[in-house]
């Protein structure tokens, strides 16, 4: 049993912030950001929340999939920036779209979140536990940034992407995933700390902090390794792959991966110039863009790959 994608959707907050806009409020420049990362702009929430963006992306995906919300049996939302600890973002999506028959849960695997969500849906399909499932990657990272740390805050943005899958026997899907908890401290963001009737700690929360070069080296090593693994398992060569849809963190990471895979950069779609890094949302936002532009035909072989905080990574080979 495998899955096929029935439809996709995405949503970006209206407010677009360019590198030049950032340079007006902090010591940075369009030259530094774009030459180091490829990023030129990002979307930042003013009124949107994690759940409101997820609901908007979900409604668009339902329309694209041409199914009714009641047909969904599961909603998996990958996020590290939920509005609430409970109810989960997935339950808020259920309420927002009227998917009354769905079982809903959130998962957090940082930038690999959407890939892990898709792999979860695949496992449910294989176990006979799910037929039509929705997977969302959504982040409001702007609320987790240290806006005084120019080395991180310029890299990230807000947004949501969604895919609806259906269990399907005719398609082939292969996965790879891994985690390296002992490297977790290279990319961190604190949740609420202990503060109760026995412990008083009103210190400010630690926002996103990153050793960029360590993440960069990890990404460049792990992406080709993970992609090779799924292609070997699928018995498909790199040349047969139409697109490698990679997590959008840095153009130089994508270029390095293309070089190591010995594949032309044209096979690696990029939208980080306009969206920056939206963590779990990058892959489904990009997939939706490709879908809407008509870049994908039935039967096309593609690979999705995510990597990031945890550290975590994952790849999925699938047929459109």
Residues that bind ligand UT7 (CB under 6 A): 28, 32-33, 36-37, 111, 150-151, 154-155, 210, 212-213, 215-216, 249-250, 277, 308
| 153 part of the active site | no
The single residue of 104, 247, 275, 305 carrying the catalytic annotation is 247
Closer residue to ligand UT7 in complex, CB, 52/315: 315
Distance in angstroms (rounded) separating the CA atoms of residues 60 and 66: 10
The single residue of 91, 111, 153, 275 carrying the catalytic annotation is 111
Distance in angstroms (rounded) separating the CA atoms of residues 295 and 286: 11
Q: How far is the CB of 159 from ligand UT7 (least distance, A)?
A: 14
Q: Which long-range contacts (CB under 8 A, 24 or more apart) does 201-210 make?
A: 207/144, 207/145, 207/146, 207/149, 208/141, 208/144, 208/145, 208/146, 208/149, 208/152, 208/153, 208/156, 209/146, 209/149, 209/152, 210/151, 210/152, 210/186
The single residue of 19, 250, 277, 291 carrying the catalytic annotation is 277
Distance in angstroms (rounded) separating the CA atoms of residues 172 and 12: 31
Q: How far is the CB of 277 from ligand UT7 (least distance, A)?
A: 5
Q: How far is the CB of 318 from ligand UT7 (least distance, A)?
A: 22
Task: Please report, in angstroms and rounded to a whole number, the separation of the first and last CA atoms in the chain.
Answer: 15
Residues 6+ apart with CB under 8 A from 147: 26, 153
Using CB atoms, what's the residue nearest to ligand UT7? 212
Distance in angstroms (rounded) separating the CA atoms of residues 306 and 314: 5
Distance in angstroms (rounded) separating the CA atoms of residues 75 and 105: 7
Q: How far is the CB of 205 from ligand UT7 (least distance, A)?
A: 19
Q: How far is the CB of 231 from ligand UT7 (least distance, A)?
A: 23
Helices (H) and strands (E) in the chain, counts: 10, 13
Closer residue to ligand UT7 in complex, CB, 5/154: 154
Distance in angstroms (rounded) separating the CA atoms of residues 11 and 3: 24
- SS3 per residue for 146-158: CCCCHHHHCCECE
Contact 23, 137 (CB under 8 A): no
Contact 163, 118 (CB under 8 A): yes
Closer residue to ligand UT7 in complex, CB, 9/113: 113
Closer residue to ligand UT7 in complex, CB, 151/188: 151
Q: Which residues pair with 137 in a beta bridge?
A: 78, 161
Closer residue to ligand UT7 in complex, CB, 33/104: 33
Q: How far is the CB of 111 from ligand UT7 (least distance, A)?
A: 4
| 247 part of the active site | yes
Closer residue to ligand UT7 in complex, CB, 52/142: 142
Q: How far is the CB of 263 from ligand UT7 (least distance, A)?
A: 21
Closer residue to ligand UT7 in complex, CB, 184/212: 212
Indicate the helix (H) or strand (E) that contains 237: none
Which residues carry out catalysis? 111, 247, 277
């Amino acid at each position: 049993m495998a899955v096929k994608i029935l439809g996709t959707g995405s949503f970006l907050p209206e407010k677009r912030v360019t590198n030049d806009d950032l340079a007006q409020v902090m010591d940075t420049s369009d030259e530094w950001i774009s030459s180091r990362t490829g990023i030129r702009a990002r979307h930042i929430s003013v009124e949107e929340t994690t759940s409101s963006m997820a609901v908007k992306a979900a409604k668009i995906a339902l329309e694209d999939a041409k199914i009714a919300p009641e047909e969904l049996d599961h909603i998996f939302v990958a996020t590290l920036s939920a509005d609430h600890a409970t109810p989960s973002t997935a339950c808020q999506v259920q309420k927002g779209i009227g998917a009354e028959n769905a079982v809903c849960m959130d998962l957090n695997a940082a930038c690999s979140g959407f890939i892990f969500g898709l792999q979860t849906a695949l496992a449910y399909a294989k176990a006979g536990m799910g037929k039509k499932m929705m997977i969302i990657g959504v982040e409001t990272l702007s609320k987790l940034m240290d806006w005084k740390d120019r080395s991180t805050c310029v890299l990230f943005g807000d947004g949501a992407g969604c895919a609806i899958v259906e269990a399907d026997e005719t398609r082939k899907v292969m996965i790879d995933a891994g985690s390296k908890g002992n490297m977790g401290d290279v990319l961190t963001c604190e949740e609420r700390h202990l503060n109760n009737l026995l412990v008083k700690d009103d210190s400010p929360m630690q926002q996103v902090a990153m050793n960029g070069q360590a993440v960069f080296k990890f990404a460049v090593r792990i992406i080709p390794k993970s992609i090779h693994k799924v292609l070997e398992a699928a018995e498909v060569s790199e040349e047969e792959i139409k697109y490698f849809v990679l997590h959008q963190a840095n153009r130089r990471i994508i270029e390095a991966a293309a070089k190591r895979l010995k594949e032309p950069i044209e096979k690696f779609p990029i939208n980080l110039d306009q969206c920056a890094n939206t963590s779990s949302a990058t892959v489904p936002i990009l997939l939706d863009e490709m879908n809407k532009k008509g870049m994908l035909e039935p039967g096309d072989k593609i690979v999705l790959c995510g990597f990031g905080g945890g550290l975590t990574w994952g790849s999925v080979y699938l047929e459109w």
